[in-house]
Amino acid sequence: MGKVWFVGAGPGDPELITVKGRDLIARAGAILYAGSLVSTATMRWAPAGCEIADSKDMALEQISAWLIEKAAGHETVVRLQTGDPTLYGALIEMVQPLDAAGVEVGVVPGVSSAMASAAAAVESLTLPEVTQTVILTRIEGRTPMPEGESLQELAQHHCTLCVFLSITLLHKVKEELLAAGWPADAPVLVVHKASWPDEEKIIRGTLADIRDKCRAEKVTSQAMIIISPTLGARQWPTLKKSKLYDAAFTHRFRRAVRVEGEKHE
C-alpha cells in the first residue's frame, strides 16, 4: 500500500501552496482534489499519467474508498484540500477509514484563508496592547456549536475574530457581536476568494453596514469575515510598538541602547 497525503492547497493562489505540497503533487500517482474550492491551476505540477479526480460530487464514503483504492496501486496519493486540512477540513472523518484499511497517512499544512485575507487587506490580526489573541470560529448553522462556544460568548473577549463559513449569516454575526458588547460602528473586513487571481474582493464596513455592502458585491460564498480592534491600524497616527524591535529592549541577539535622560522599564 502507498501513502495518502492530505495536502493543504492554501487559500486559492496556486503559488501559495507549500514547497512540500507542490513536490508531493509532482510525484503523485493519483490526486483527489476538492474542485469546488481548489484551483485547477494547482494541477500544473502533476506528472504525466497521474490519475486526477474531482471530489465535489462525492460523499465521504466515496472519497475514502477512492483514496484506499488508489493507495493500493500508487506509492504517493494526494488528497488536495483548500486552506489547511486541519481547519474545517473533515480530516479525521477521512483518516479513520484509511487507518482501518491499514493505509499510511501524512498531513501537509496549508495557508489558511484567515491569514490570506489579512494579508490581502494589509491588516495585522494582533497588535501590542490592542489584542494578542485570535479566535478562529464560525457561527452556528446546520452544524451546532458546542456549549460555551457561541459567537456571542467568544466575542465577549473583544479580541480578533476570524469567522469562517458564515457569509450568508451576517445578520446573525451582527446580532451576536452586538449582544457581546461590540459597537455598531465596529470595523469589519470581508474578503471573498482571498488570493484568487482576478476574483478576490476586499470589502470594508462596520457591523451596521457590512451585510448590505456584501450584498451589493454579490458575495455569498467563499468569504472570510474578520472583526478586530486592530482593523484600520495602518492609518492610526500612533501605535504601541513591538518590544522586539525597540532599541531600548535587550534580547539574546542585541543589547539595549540607552538614551540619556530616557526612562525605560
- What tens digit of pLDDT does each residue of 150-195 get? 999 999 999 999 999 999 999 999 999 999 999 999 999 999 999 9
118 lies in the same domain as 146: yes
The total number of residues shown for the chain amounts to 265
Asked if the model's pLDDT at residue 250 lies above 70, the reply is no
Domain boundary residue, one of 108, 126, 141: 108
32 lies in the same domain as 126: no
118 lies in the same domain as 196: yes
- How far, in Å, CA of 234 to CA of 6, rounded? 37
97 lies in the same domain as 161: no
Task: Copy the grid coordinates of residue 36.
Answer: 469546488
218 lies in the same domain as 163: yes
104 lies in the same domain as 186: no
Q: What is the CATH number of the domain that holds 63?
A: 3.40.1010.10
Higher pLDDT among residues 69 and 265, named by residue: 69
Give the pLDDT of residue 142. Answer: 81
117 lies in the same domain as 229: yes
Q: What is the CATH number of the domain that holds 163?
A: 3.30.950.10
103 lies in the same domain as 136: no
Whether 204 is covered by a domain: the verdict is yes
226 lies in the same domain as 132: yes
Asked if the model's pLDDT at residue 48 lies above 80, the reply is yes
Q: 110 and 10 in contact (C-beta within 8 Å)? A: yes
Domain boundary residue, one of 60, 79, 108: 108
Task: Copy the grid coordinates of residue 172.
Answer: 446573525
43 lies in the same domain as 130: no
- Domain containing residue 215: 113-235
Cβ contacts of residue 256 below 8 Å, gap of 6+? Answer: 247, 248, 249, 250, 264
Q: Coil, helix or strand for 34?
A: coil
pLDDT tens digits along 110-150: 999 999 999 999 999 999 999 999 999 999 888 889 999 99
Domain boundary residue, one of 84, 108, 132: 108
Give the pLDDT of residue 255. Answer: 73
Whether 64 is covered by a domain: the verdict is yes
- How far, in Å, CA of 74 to CA of 121, rounded? 41
Whether 265 is covered by a domain: the verdict is no
45 lies in the same domain as 135: no
Q: How many domains is the chain partitioned into structurally? A: 2
pTM score, whole prediction: 0.90
Q: Coil, helix or strand for 116?
A: helix
23 residue type, one letter? D
Give the pLDDT of residue 254. Answer: 67
Give the pLDDT of residue 39. Answer: 86
Whether 245 is covered by a domain: the verdict is no
Whether 158 is covered by a domain: the verdict is yes
183 residue type, one letter? P
- Span 13-27, average pLDDT: 97
Give the pLDDT of residue 263. Answer: 54
72 lies in the same domain as 103: yes
Asked if the model's pLDDT at residue 256 lies above 90, the reply is no
54 closest CA partner among 39, 71, 33: 33
- Span 211-233, average pLDDT: 97
Whether 247 is covered by a domain: the verdict is no
Whether 250 is covered by a domain: the verdict is no
- How far, in Å, CA of 69 to CA of 58, rounded? 15
Whether 242 is covered by a domain: the verdict is no
